[in-house]
Each structure stands twice: as C-alpha cells, then as structure tokens.
Amino acid sequence: MKATLVAICFIAAVAYSMGRLTEKQCRTPVPSTLCAEDAKPRIIYYFSNHTSKCEPMLSCADGINHFEKPECCRSECPYGSHSKRNKKPQPFAE
C-alpha cells in the first residue's frame, strides 16, 4: 500500500513538473512585433525578465512565452514573484 502511494505521488510530481516551461524559456525576452494590416492586436500575458512576474502587453504574435490569461502565465512560469518560495504568510484577519 505504501509503495503504491509513493508511486502515485512520484508520477503526479513528474506530470506536474513536465507541464511548466523552464525558467530559461520564461525569461527569454519577448520581441516587439509589428502587426500585419489585417491582424487584430490582443492582450497577451508574458513573464517579464525585468519585473520577474507576468505582465500584459498588446501583441499579434504567438510565442512560447505568450499566454491568453494571467493565470496560465503564472502556472506555466512559476518563477520570480510567482515562486512558492517567495510567498510570505498572510497575516490572519478576523
């Protein structure tokens, strides 16, 4: 029973870590692009190497560090200010 539980935890940890981008991929600079005449710019979220967090920007391009939602950016790039190691405990509010 313990061996089965350990195996399940190991598989879950591997699956969780495989879904994320590497820190190097997240910190790769996002190039500014010009939009084609018929392209419609949209708000995307990217992990900024300068602020170490996900930031919004207008873009027509697609890329490995471009996300449609801020939640996706934070889950795929859990580095910098999104790192669990950087989380400070919140004070208890009554």
3-state secondary structure of 69: coil
Give the residue carrying structure tokens 């190097």: 24
**Residue 65 confidence (pLDDT) above 70:** yes
Which residue ranges form the domains of the chain, and what is each CATH number? 21-30+39-80 (4.10.410.10)
How many other CB atoms sit within 10 Å of the CB of residue 68?
A: 11
pLDDT in tens, 31-61: 887 899 999 999 999 999 999 999 999 999 8
Q: What is the pLDDT of residue 85?
A: 67
Separation CA 77–CA 66 (nearest Å): 11
pLDDT in tens, 5-27: 444 544 444 444 445 899 999 99
Record the tokens describing residue 3, joined without a space: 């061996």
